[in-house]
Amino acid sequence: MAMLSARTAAGGSTGSGTTPPGPDASELSAVLGYLKPEDIAQIERAYETARAAHAGQFRKSGEPYVTHPLAVAKILAEWHLDPQALMAALLHDVVEDTHTTKTEIAKHFGKPVADLVDGVSKIERIEFATLQHAQAENFRKMLLAMARDVRVILIKLADRLHNMRTLDAVHAEKQERVARETLDIYAPIANRLGLNAIYYELGDLGFRYLHPTRFRVLEKALKRARGNRRDAVGKLTEAIGARLKEFRVEAQVHGREKHISSIYRKMQEKNISFSEVFDIYGFRILVPDVSACYLALGALHTLYKPIPGKFKDYIAIPKANGYQSLHTTLFGPFGMPVEVQIRTPEMHKVAEAGVASHWLYKSAEEQSKDVQLKTHQWLQSLLEIQSESGDALEFLEHIKVDLFPEEVYVFTPKGKILSLPRGATPIDFAYSVHTDVGNHCISARVNGETVPLGTALRNGDRVEIVTDPDSRPNPVWLSYVATGKARSHIRHYLKTMQSAESAEVGELLLVQALRSLKANPDEIGEEHWKRFFKGDASRTRDEVMADIGLGKRLAVVVAKKLLATPEAVAEGTHRLDSITIRGTEGLAVQFAPCCRPIPGDPIIAQIKKGQGLVVHTHDCPVIHPFHFDPEKWVDVQWDPVPGRLFDVNVRLTAANQRGVLARLAAEISEADSNIEHIETEERSSSAYTTIVFTIQVRNRMHVAQVFKRMRRIPEVVRLTRLKKKAA
C-alpha cells in the first residue's frame, strides 16, 4: 500500500499547466491492516484505475476528484468491510462520470464489484419528466440493489457522508436540496440499519445546511450551556460511579452531549425553547454482561427516582435494527432530568455500527447475526413493496413511511413479538403477519377486547386478527395504516380488483356501443382485435375493457375502431340497450353521494375518468341539461333482484319527548333495516327535534315499509327522504 501512497502525489493536471496538491492515500493505507497483502494489492489496482479514469477531473473545492472515492473507501475500511466493497468504493463514480463501463470493471475486478458499482451509480441515460421522478427512480434502483447486497447502501452512505462533510464547496440552492434529501432518505436509512454514528452525523450536517441560522444559534447556546453545566455533569458522573461501586457493579460511566439535530427535534416535537431542554447531557454506562445491566439499573433507581413511563427495555425486546440497551430517565439534582443508557460492550458495538458490525466485530458475531437477519427481513419487504408499487414515486412514498419507525412492540396470540412503527393499527399488524391475513381481515381483538381496525396499538398489546375468506381490503384503510408494507398491499389489491371489475363493466359498455352501431358483438373476432392493436398502446383485451370501464376510453370509439369500415363508423341512431346494475360490481360502479340512488329510482350513469360508472338518479341536480354530453352518459337499469343493501338519507322531525329515538330505532329494526349514521340538526324550537340519519334498504319499496313503521309513532310530525349526502 506504500506504493499507492507514493503514486497519489502524481495527481492530475488541469490542462492549464497548474497542478493542485494530490490526494493523500496514506490515511486509507493506515486503516487496511486487517486485510491480507493480496487483498491490498487488488485495492491498489482499483485505486490506479480510478485515478486514471478521473484524471483531469476536480471537485468543486478544487481538489482532484479521486480524493472523494479515496475518502469513501477509508470510511468503509474503518468498518472493516471486505476488499470487494473497498474496490467498489474506489470505482463507484467511474461508470457515472467517465467512459469506463460496467463490463470493463467486471472483466478486471470481477462481477460482484461491477454489480456493487452499478447499484450505487445513478440512472443517467433515461429522460424523466421531472427531477423528482429522476430522484425517485434512482432511489428505487439503489434500494433494490441494496435488497440484493447490503454493501450497496453502506457504500452509498459513506459516499453521502463525505459529500455532506464537504458541502461547503457548492452553492446554497444545492446545499439545501442535498441536505433535505439526506434528512429525508439517507439519515433514516442509516438509523434503520443501526448505524448510529453516521445517523447522528448526517442529521447534524443536514440540519446545518438546511437551517444554517437555526444551527448557528443552537450551536452557540450549546457552547454556553456546556460551560454552565460542566460541573453538574462531573458531579453526576461521580455520584453514579460511586453508587455502582456500592452495588459492586464494574462499570464505565460516560457523560455524553446530545446532538444539535436531536435537541432541535425535541424542541419542535414538544414546542419548547432551548432553555427548557434540560437533558442536553445523557450518560452511557458500559457493564460486563446482561445481568450487570439490570443490577446497574436497580442501583441507579436507588440513587435518583425514575420518571414514570420513561423506562424502555431494549435488551429483552431489541429494536428492529438490532439495537439493545436499557433506557431510563431519572429525576436528577435540582429536578433536572438525567437520561441513562446501560449496555454491554458488545451491545455498544452493535449500537454504533449496526449492520456494519457484521464485518467490524467478529467478537459480537452472535448479535451481528441477529442484526443481519432483521436487516434481511426488512430488505425482503422492500422487494415485496417494489413488486406492488405502480411507479418510483409511489415506491418511495411507501419506503419513507417505513424509514421513521419509532417502534411499538406487540404480541401475537402465540406470544411472538412484532415491531411496528408508532401509530400502527391492527391492519398494519395483520399485514405484518401475512398478506392474506391483511387482505381478509374483518375485525381485531386487542387484549381480548374487540376494537375498531383504526385503533392505534400500544406497547405490550396482545393482538388477534379475525379473518373472513370473502372479505377484502377497504380503501378507507389507507387513511390510517402506518407501514409501507400494508399501504402497498392495500393499493395493489384495490388496483387489481378495480381493474378486474372495470373490465366487466367495460365489456358491457362495448357490447352496448357495438349494438348502437348496428353490429353483432358475437361477430367481433380475432381479426378485428389484431387490426385494433396495430398502433394502439394497449396489448390485451382486458386492458382495453378496463380502460373503458374506468372511463379512460369511450366505448363508441373502441367499437368504431374494431369495426373499422365506413359503413360501420357511420353514426347509428339505434337506441342503446340499458346496462343492468346489480349493486355488487364493486369499485367499477359507484353510487353518487349527491343523490344516493336505490333500486326503484329511475337512473342514469356517467362515465367518469379513473372512476368507472357513477350512477345518478334522473332528477339529480348534477345532470344539468346545458352540460349534458350524451357520449359520457349511459342508460342503466336495476337488476330485478339487487345483490346488496343501499344507503338512504332521511330527515325526521319529531316532538321533543323522552324515548322517541329508542322507539324509532326499534321500528327501523323491525322493518329489517339498520341505522348507519345519525345526528341532530340545530333546534329552531325547543318543542321539536330534527334528526338526519342514514338507513340501509334493499329498494324503494323497502324505504316505503320503513317509513310506514316510523309514521306509526305519534310524535313524528315530518319524514322525508333526502337526495343528498348526510353530513
**What's the rounded Cα separation, in Å, for the pair 452 and 457?**
11
- Contact between residue 505 and residue 613 where contact means Cβ atoms under 8 Å apart: yes
**What's the rounded Cα separation, in Å, for the pair 104 and 530?**
44
**What's the rounded Cα separation, in Å, for the pair 706 and 43?**
83
Q: Which of 106, 17, 116, 7 is nearest to 52 (CA)?
A: 7
Per DSSP, the three-state class of 104 is: helix
Q: Exposed, middle or buried by CB within 10 Å (0-12, 13-18, 19+), for 564? A: exposed
- C-alpha distances (whole Å) from 652 to each of 327, 595, 724 are 58, 18, 15
Q: Which of 66, 55, 668, 143 is nearest to 378 (CA)?
A: 143
Cell numbers of 173, please?
440552492
Helix (H), strand (E) at residue 343 = strand 337-343
- Contact between residue 516 and residue 560 where contact means Cβ atoms under 8 Å apart: no
Q: Which amino acid is at 554?
A: L
> Which distant-in-sequence residues (6+ apart) come within 8 Å of 267 by Cβ?
273, 274, 277
Q: Which of 438, 445, 536 is nearest to 493 (CA)?
A: 438
Burial letters 478-496, b for 16+ CB under 10 A, else e = eebbbbbbbbbbbbbbbee
Length of the chain, in residues: 727
Strand partners, 650: 693, 721
Scanning the structure block, which residue is given the C-alpha cell 342503466? 636
**What's the rounded Cα separation, in Å, for the pair 559 and 552?**
14
- Contact between residue 347 and residue 363 where contact means Cβ atoms under 8 Å apart: no
> Which distant-in-sequence residues (6+ apart) come within 8 Å of 170 by Cβ?
60, 178
Scanning the structure block, which residue is given the C-alpha cell 392493436? 533
Helix (H), strand (E) at residue 105 = helix 102-109
Q: Which of 694, 613, 608, 688 is nearest to 647 (CA)?
A: 694
Q: Which of 1, 180, 146 is nearest to 73 (CA)?
A: 1
**What's the rounded Cα separation, in Å, for the pair 471 and 437?**
10
Cell numbers of 587, please?
369499485
Q: Which of 143, 151, 150, 215 is nearest to 185 (CA)?
A: 143
| Sheet bearing 337-343, strands edge to edge | 252-257, 281-286, 337-343, 326-331, 312-313
Instruction: For helices 345-353 and 365-388, give the axis angle rounded to 10 degrees.
Output: 30
Scanning the structure block, which residue is given the C-alpha cell 439490570? 294
Catalytic one among 27, 39, 78, 97?
A: 97
Q: Which of 64, 71, 74, 85 is nearest to 15 (CA)?
A: 64
- C-alpha distances (whole Å) from 101 to each of 88, 107, 417 are 13, 10, 47
Q: Active-site residue 137, yes or no?
A: no
Catalytic one among 39, 96, 257, 536?
A: 96
Cell numbers of 696, please?
340501509
Scanning the structure block, which residue is given the C-alpha cell 429522476? 134
DSSP state of 128: -
Q: Which of 327, 334, 183 is nearest to 268 (CA)?
A: 183
Q: Active-site residue 97, yes or no?
A: yes
Using only C-alpha atoms, the chain has a radius of gyration, in whole angstroms, of 34
What are the DSSP calls for 652-703, one per residue?
A: EEEE--TTHHHHHHHHHHHTT-EEEEEEEPPPS-TTEEEEEEEEEESSHHHH
Q: Which residues are catalytic?
A: 96-97
